[in-house]
C-alpha cells in the first residue's frame, strides 16, 4: 500500500486522518456536510501509515453515529468495480471494520452491508470475521453457501478451502457450518477442518533451520544463505549459536564479527552483544564504520539490546556521533540512562525532530525517554510531535510523556485525548484530564457506559468518577 497523503494538522481532514480527539470535536461543530465529507474521505482512503497496528475504526464509527451519517459512500466503495481489480485488504479493511463497529451499535444498515459484501466481495474473509463477532447464527448460516461456492470442488479448490479454514481469524462461522443441516455444506467444512489440522501437525513435525548438532561454521553458512535469498536469519542464527558454541569457538566468532560475510558478521555481532562479550562494543563500533548497510543495522540493533553498565557508559560517549550509532546511543540513554543523561536525550530528541520530522521512527524511544526521565524543558518539542505526527501510536507516547513533563497537560491535550482513536491514549486522558471542564465529565460518563470501550479505559474512568458520579 502506498503512503497516504496527510492533510495539514490544522485542518478538519488532517485532524481526522490523524485520529486526534480534536478531529471529533471540530467535526461536531462544523457544517454536517463538510464533516461527513472529511469522515468519508478517511474511511475510504485509509490514512494510516501502518494499518495493521493503528486504530481508527471505532473512532470513525463513533463519529458516524454522532453525525447520524449515511453509508451510501461506503457502499459505493465496497461494491465498485475496483473491488475486483484491487483485492488488497488495505483497500476495504477500514471500511469493513467501521461497519462492524456500527453493527455492534445497532445499525442494521451496516449489518446488511457486511452480509452482502461477505457473500460477493473480494475481501469477504474480513467481512466474515466482523460478522462472526456480531451477527446471529441465522445470519451466518445464510452465508455458508455463497462462501463455499468461492472454492472449486476439485483437489485444488478443497486445498484452498482447507487453508482458509485453518488460518481463519474467527472460527465461529466455520464451526456453525460444520454442523449445518445441509449435508453438502457440513461435509465440506468438516473435511476442510480435518485437513487443516493435519497440515498444522505436519508443519510442527518438519521444523526447518539448524539443529543443535551443527557447528559454528554451519550456522554462519546458514545465515549467509538466508542473506543471499533476501531473508534476514541472523537473529535465529545467533540463538542457534547459544546452543552449539562453546568457549573454544569464541575466536572464530570474533573473527566473523570483524571480517566475515554479512550473514556471519551480523550473527556474530548479535551473539557477542547478547552474551555481553568484553569485545562486543568495540566490534560494534568497527562494524558501523566498515560494514555494509545490513551489517550497520544489525550492529546498531545488537547494541540497543545490551543491558550492561558498560554499554550505557559507551552510549554517553557515542551520543554526539552524527551516525546511526550516535542515534542508537541516544535511544539507549532514553531507555537506560539516568537523570545525568537528560541533556543528551533532549539533544537527541531535538535533532531527530529537526532532521527527520515528527514521524521519525527513532522518536518512539526518545519520546518515551523524555517522559521516563521527566525532562520538563522537552514539553515544547513533545507538543510539536503530538500535533504533527501522523502516527497515532507516537502521539499516544507523546501524550504519556507530556503527562509526566507538562503541568498544562491536564487542562490542555488531555481533554481532547478523551476522544482519541487509540485506547491507550484515552486511558491516559481518563487518568489526567481536569474534571472542572464540563466536557470531560460528560465524556467520562459516556466512555464508562459504552460497551465498545476497552476495559482498561473504563477502569481508568471509574477510578476518576467512583461509585458516585455526581461527586465530580
* 134-167 pLDDT tens trace: 999 999 999 999 999 999 989 899 999 999 998 8
Q: Is the pLDDT of residue 44 over 50?
A: yes
Q: What is the mean pLDDT of the chain?
A: 92
What's the whole-number mean pLDDT along residues 365-394?
A: 96
Q: DSSP for 305-324?
A: H--SHHHHHHHHHHTT-SSH
CA distances from 224 to 220, 266, 268 (A): 6, 9, 12
Angstrom distance (rounded) from CA 162 to CA 192 = 4
Angstrom distance (rounded) from CA 275 to CA 397 = 31
CA nearest neighbour of 352 among 372, 380, 381: 381
Angstrom distance (rounded) from CA 373 to CA 386 = 18
Q: Which three cell numbers stand for residue 295?
A: 551489517
Q: Quickly state the pLDDT bin for 194 (edges 50, 70, 90).
A: confident
Q: Quickly state the pLDDT bin for 49 (edges 50, 70, 90).
A: confident
Q: Quickly state the pLDDT bin for 213 (edges 50, 70, 90).
A: low
Give the SS3 label for residue 396. helix
Q: Is the pLDDT of residue 186 over 50?
A: yes
What's the whole-number mean pLDDT along residues 104-128?
A: 96
Q: Is the pLDDT of residue 331 over 90?
A: yes
CA nearest neighbour of 62 among 446, 340, 459, 466: 446
Q: What stretches of 19-141 show up as alpha helix (H) in DSSP?
A: 21-29, 32-44, 57-67, 72-78, 82-85, 89-104, 108-120, 124-134, 137-141
- How confident is the model at residue 93, as a pLDDT? 95
Angstrom distance (rounded) from CA 147 to CA 128 = 9
- How confident is the model at residue 469, as a pLDDT? 47
Angstrom distance (rounded) from CA 75 to CA 55 = 21
Q: What stretches of 291-437 show up as alpha helix (H) in DSSP?
A: 293-305, 309-318, 324-336, 342-356, 363-373, 379-388, 392-405, 413-417, 423-432
Q: Quickly state the pLDDT bin for 231 (edges 50, 70, 90).
A: confident
CA distances from 448 to 43, 187, 415, 430, 443 (A): 26, 45, 16, 10, 9
Q: Is the pLDDT of residue 440 over 50?
A: yes
Q: What percent of the chain has pLDDT over 70?
A: 94
Q: Is the pLDDT of residue 225 over 50?
A: yes
- How confident is the model at residue 436, as a pLDDT? 86
Q: Is the pLDDT of residue 201 over 80?
A: no
Map grid coordinates 558454541 to a residue.
Answer: 245
The predicted-structure confidence for 258-298, as pLDDT tens digits, reads as follows: 999 999 999 999 999 999 999 999 999 999 999 999 999 99
- How confident is the model at residue 470, as a pLDDT? 44
Residue 218's contacts (CB-CB under 8 Å, 6 or more residues apart) are 210
Q: Are residues 55 and 392 in contact, defined by beta-carbon separation less than 8 angstroms? A: yes
Phi-psi map region of 19: left, alpha, beta (phi>0 left; psi -120 to 50 alpha): left
- How confident is the model at residue 466, as a pLDDT? 64
Most confident of 30-39, 187-196, 225-234: 30-39
Angstrom distance (rounded) from CA 86 to CA 80 = 10
Query: pTM for the full model?
Result: 0.89
| DSSP E strand boundaries for 257-302 | none
Q: Quickly state the pLDDT bin for 4 (edges 50, 70, 90).
A: confident
- How confident is the model at residue 50, as a pLDDT? 85
Q: Which three cell numbers stand for residue 179?
A: 454442523
Q: Is the pLDDT of residue 468 over 90?
A: no
Q: What percent of the chain has pLDDT over 90?
A: 83
CA distances from 44 to 10, 74, 76, 371, 447 (A): 21, 7, 10, 36, 26
Angstrom distance (rounded) from CA 104 to CA 98 = 10
Give the SS3 label for residue 422. coil
Q: Quickly state the pLDDT bin for 209 (edges 50, 70, 90).
A: low
CA nearest neighbour of 236 among 263, 201, 200: 263
Find the Cα–Cα–Cα–Cα dihedral 370, 417, 104, 114, rounded to 10°.
Answer: -70
Phi-psi map region of 73: left, alpha, beta (phi>0 left; psi -120 to 50 alpha): alpha
Give the SS3 label for residue 273. helix
CA nearest neighbour of 344 among 312, 318, 319, 307: 319
Angstrom distance (rounded) from CA 53 to CA 70 = 27
- How confident is the model at residue 105, as a pLDDT? 96
Amino acid at each position: 500500500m502506498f503512503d497516504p497523503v496527510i492533510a495539514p494538522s490544522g485542518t478538519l481532514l488532517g485532524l481526522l486522518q490523524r485520529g486526534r480527539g480534536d478531529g471529533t470535536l471540530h467535526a461536531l461543530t462544523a457544517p454536517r456536510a463538510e464533516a461527513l465529507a472529511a469522515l468519508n474521505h478517511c474511511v475510504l482512503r485509509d490514512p494510516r501509515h501502518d494499518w495493521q497496528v493503528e486504530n481508527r475504526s471505532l473512532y470513525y464509527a463513533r463519529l458516524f453515529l454522532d453525525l447520524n451519517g449515511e453509508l451510501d459512500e461506503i457502499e459505493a466503495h465496497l461494491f465498485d468495480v475496483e473491488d475486483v481489480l484491487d483485492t488488497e485488504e488495505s483497500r476495504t479493511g477500514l471500511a469493513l471494520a467501521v461497519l462492524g463497529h456500527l453493527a455492534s451499535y445497532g445499525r442494521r444498515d451496516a449489518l446488511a452491508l457486511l452480509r452482502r459484501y461477505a457473500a460477493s466481495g473480494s475481501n469477504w474473509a474480513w467481512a466474515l470475521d466482523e460478522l462472526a463477532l456480531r451477527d446471529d447464527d441465522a445470519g451466518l448460516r445464510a452465508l455458508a453457501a455463497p462462501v463455499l461456492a468461492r472454492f472449486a470442488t476439485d483437489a485444488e479448490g478443497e486445498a484452498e478451502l482447507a487453508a482458509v479454514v485453518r488460518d481463519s481469524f474467527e472460527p465461529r462461522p466455520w464451526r456453525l457450518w460444520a454442523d449445518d443441516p445441509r449435508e453438502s455444506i457440513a461435509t465440506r467444512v468438516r473435511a476442510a477442518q480435518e485437513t487443516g489440522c493435519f497440515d498444522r501437525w505436519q508443519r510442527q513435525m518438519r521444523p526447518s533451520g539448524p539443529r543443535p548438532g551443527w557447528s559454528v561454521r554451519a550456522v554462519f553458512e546458514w545465515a549467509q544463505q538466508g542473506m543471499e535469498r533476501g531473508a534476514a536469519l541472523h537473529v535465529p542464527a545467533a540463538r542457534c549459536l547459544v546452543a552449539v558454541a562453546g568457549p573454544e569457538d569464541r575466536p572464530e566468532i570474533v573473527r566473523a564479527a570483524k571480517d566475515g560475510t554479512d550473514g556471519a558478521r551480523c550473527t556474530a555481532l548479535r551473539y557477542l552483544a547478547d552474551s555481553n562479550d568484553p569485545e562486543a562494543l568495540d566490534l560494534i563500533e568497527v562494524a558501523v564504520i566498515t560494514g555494509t548497510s545490513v551489517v550497520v543495522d544489525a550492529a546498531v540493533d545488537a547494541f540497543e539490546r545490551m543491558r550492561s553498565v558498560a554499554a550505557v557508559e559507551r552510549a554517553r560517549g557515542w551520543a554526539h556521533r552524527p551516525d546511526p550509532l550516535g542515534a542508537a546511543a541516544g535511544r539507549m540513554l532514553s531507555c537506560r540512562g539516568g537523570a545525568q543523561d537528560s541533556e543528551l536525550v533532549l539533544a537527541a530528541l531535538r535533532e531527530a525532530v529537526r532532521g527527520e520530522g515528527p514521524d521519525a521512527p527513532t522518536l518512539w524511544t526518545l519520546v518515551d525517554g523524555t517522559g521516563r526521565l521527566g525532562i520538563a524543558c522537552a514539553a515544547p518539542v513533545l507538543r510539536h510531535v503530538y500535533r504533527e505526527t501522523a502516527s497515532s501510536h507516537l502521539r499516544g507516547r507523546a501524550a504519556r510523556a507530556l503527562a509526566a513533563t507538562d503541568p498544562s497537560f491536564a487542562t490542555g491535550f488531555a481533554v481532547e485525548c478523551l476522544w482519541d482513536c487509540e485506547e491507550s491514549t484515552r486511558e491516559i486522558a481518563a487518568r489526567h484530564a481536569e474534571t472542572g471542564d464540563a466536557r470531560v465529565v460528560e465524556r467520562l460518563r459516556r466512555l464508562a457506559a459504552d460497551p465498545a470501550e476497552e476495559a482498561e479505559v473504563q477502569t481508568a474512568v471509574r477510578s476518576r468518577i467512583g461509585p458516585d458520579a455526581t461527586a465530580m
